[in-house]
Structure 1
């Protein structure tokens, strides 16, 4: 095998990649450009049997391994790896896949940057399938009844039966009242926040309450809650206080931190009422970093710092010192990673590793693809009463990365 290694490097990896164009104009469709194809050419002058192929894989020579995909094997491990790497290459044996048609309902003024990022997440997933698809965007300015009804009627008249709709709770409530009887997935909303029982409406929002329930099991007998003046933060702080007291917690101290506040000396310096408490942060990442740094600055005695998905962000690692965050525990529901989809999104400057709305959008379109074609799902996430049930894992921000909480 050693004498072959100088030759095996001679591999040609050809990739043609589609770029998203004109996805954001109303009623836009992709052109009929041929789908991307990837070929791994075998330029190795020596024959390679099953043992040889397995050694390539073990040594990390992935492209050498891929160039021998035609080698027959009864080896269970090699068979599983062949299935795993199947999306990387397009084999002649690939079965013809049914065309998928997905509509995007985009209230672009309401959801801001997520109009672009959820579109990119959907596009990245569909091009990774190496199969025909149509992705059409329907833009609305505001989530009012008339605009939503008009857009849904147009979606139905265009023959779309599956829709990704990153809406707010107000928009979801209007769609629920319209009851359009087409399959609509809300990546931004958890079903617990709705009153809907329609079989056509699906929900992919993170379950913050379930994350809170797990985190509160790690709290001390004193809970200190920081929150901003957003509606979500206020709702979560109320739930944390209620759940903590229901589980036998003795004392709760709450601080509302408006956006303009940058100094917490008044709230935390020499404040014996919060000493030894568990600090729950319902604040955006920048505000959370400020709070943690000042807890360190004023030498506050803390049991731990708790946070939901909101602070699972690599920015936390760069904007705080390790001393500030070493006692922090985060509940995370982004637990399944697909390397191909991560890289495809990265090319489009999109994040599905830390951004939960982009992640849940990908989970939803993966589910619709499964429903339409019977394809195996990339994200094996349970669906209960049309709600995605994400696993929850506890993690900690270490020196340079997030690690599992022990």
Structure 2
């Protein structure tokens, strides 16, 4: 049994000005097997026992299934300076995913959703084909034309980032599994192949209301469709709504004028912020210098964002409570996401998108260990609710015994 190691040491030159690297390739190590005979498991164990590491590495065949030998291969490769990763292909075939996006409607998510799916697939180290179909908007004619293109090709499943119930009609012609990360199945009659990953804002608001200690409720809504939706939910679930205002950009910038009229009602109140991060930061800064303080300042997923921490740095944050449906997931996935500018720690649409891919992929093979712990009920993702305080400039998760449960 003879094997040899070939060490190629090639110079790497760096020019002093401009930090321009030479195009000469760097040094590399290559192990060459010069023995034509196949080395089976007993042969490899014998090489390992005799400390013939280079021969072991040179003669190891990727068809070897013995877990101990596979682990030894990774260890020995690392010891001699070679990166080796035994590729695990649980599907035995190429995974094919279609992404349907109305780019004009979903804005930044047309990019981050792509990055999220790529991050997930790369973290799994599997063969895949991933194709994006842009319908531009959610006009039914546009969606139907785009879906016809999807149906003309073969895919294992479709991720569809849609925002309107009316858009679901266009999905009727798709027979393969579909995942919609941006909607819930509430008040929707949909085909059995459609799974929804949207978060339950009603449950989030109810969880926040349960943390109240009496007092009146003051609601500040954004002037967007989501702001109005959150306002309606909050008003329908709250018992003592005393003030409800819609906050435009101009009002947010000069909120102190509103406080002159409403300050007397702040003391001991529960303030709901159904406003996005920048507006919330402006409101919190001005409420913070008021002589009267609310008991609680409450907000949903919309303000679970590290940007808020920067905007209110230096303020008293002891009375702020924020709820989130984003849980813990695989750290490798998080890191791949960050490399591709996909935030899965704070952005729930990205988190939900990865959850959907995880669901369908794990359904295709029992050998795939799930990255996510969320369950699904009647084709709807069920998220665990977490509550956060802000302490020393970071979000601090409350323990279970600190949370008043939704009855």
- Is TM (by shorter chain) over 0.5? yes
Q: Which ranges in structure 1 are unaligned for 5 or more consecutive residues? A: 1-46, 48-65, 72-87
State whether residues 220 and 274 of structure 2, in contact with CA within 8 Å, keep that contact through their aligned partners in structure 1: yes
User: What is the number of equivalent residue pairs in this alignment?
Assistant: 320
- Listed one character per residue, the Cα deviations across residues 303-362 of structure 1 (whole Å, up to 9, x for unaligned) are 011111110101111111343422111111111132101111111122111111111111
1:190 aligned residue (167, 184, 193) = 184
- Listed one character per residue, the Cα deviations across residues 277-297 of structure 1 (whole Å, up to 9, x for unaligned) are 111110000000111111012
In 2, distance between residues paired with 1:362 and 1:211?
21
In 2, distance between residues paired with 1:305 and 1:89?
52
1:257 aligned residue (226, 247, 254) = 247
Distance 1:153-1:226 versus aligned 2 partners, 3 A rule: same
* 1:381-392 correspondence to structure 2 within 5 Å: 381-392=374-385
- Listed one character per residue, the Cα deviations across residues 199-228 of structure 1 (whole Å, up to 9, x for unaligned) are 111111111111111110012331111111
* 1:308-319 correspondence to structure 2 within 5 Å: 308-319=300-311
- The alignment status of 1:344 with 2:324, answered yes or no, reads no
User: How far is the alpha carbon of 1:180 from its aligned partner?
Assistant: 2.9
1:153 match: 148
Distance 1:92-1:360 versus aligned 2 partners, 3 A rule: closer
In 2, distance between residues paired with 1:93 and 1:305?
49
2:258 match: 267
- The alignment status of 1:402 with 2:369, answered yes or no, reads no
State whether residues 94 and 128 of structure 2, in contact with CA within 8 Å, keep that contact through their aligned partners in structure 1: yes
State whether residues 222 and 251 of structure 1, in contact with CA within 8 Å, keep that contact through their aligned partners in structure 2: yes
In 2, distance between residues paired with 1:367 and 1:93?
19
1:240 aligned residue (234, 240, 249) = 234
- Listed one character per residue, the Cα deviations across residues 138-176 of structure 1 (whole Å, up to 9, x for unaligned) are 111111111111111211110224111111125634435
User: How far is the alpha carbon of 1:377 from its aligned partner?
Assistant: 1.4
| TM-score, normalised with respect to structure 2 | 0.74
- The alignment status of 1:228 with 2:222, answered yes or no, reads yes
1:108 match: 103
Determine which structure has more spread, i.e. the larger CA radius of gyration: 2
Distance 1:92-1:144 versus aligned 2 partners, 3 A rule: closer
State whether residues 269 and 298 of structure 1, in contact with CA within 8 Å, keep that contact through their aligned partners in structure 2: no
User: How far is the alpha carbon of 1:129 from its aligned partner?
Assistant: 1.2
In 1, distance between residues paired with 2:218 and 2:381?
31
| Alpha-carbon RMSD | 2.4
- The alignment status of 1:135 with 2:125, answered yes or no, reads no
In 1, distance between residues paired with 2:319 and 2:170?
43
- The alignment status of 1:356 with 2:348, answered yes or no, reads yes
State whether residues 208 and 308 of structure 1, in contact with CA within 8 Å, keep that contact through their aligned partners in structure 2: yes
In 2, distance between residues paired with 1:294 and 1:317?
15
In 2, distance between residues paired with 1:150 and 1:238?
35
1:328 match: 320
1:393 match: 386
User: How far is the alpha carbon of 1:99 from its aligned partner?
Assistant: 2.1
Q: Structure 1 residue runs of 4+, over 6 Å off?
A: none
1:202 aligned residue (195, 206, 214) = 195
| TM-score, normalised with respect to structure 1 | 0.74
Q: Which ranges in structure 2 are unaligned for 5 or more consecutive residues? A: 1-48, 50-67, 74-82, 403-407
SS in 2 for 1:354: coil
2:14 match: none
User: How far is the alpha carbon of 1:90 from its aligned partner?
Assistant: 3.0
In 2, distance between residues paired with 1:68 and 1:181?
40
State whether residues 70 and 86 of structure 2, in contact with CA within 8 Å, keep that contact through their aligned partners in structure 1: no
In 1, distance between residues paired with 2:90 and 2:247?
56
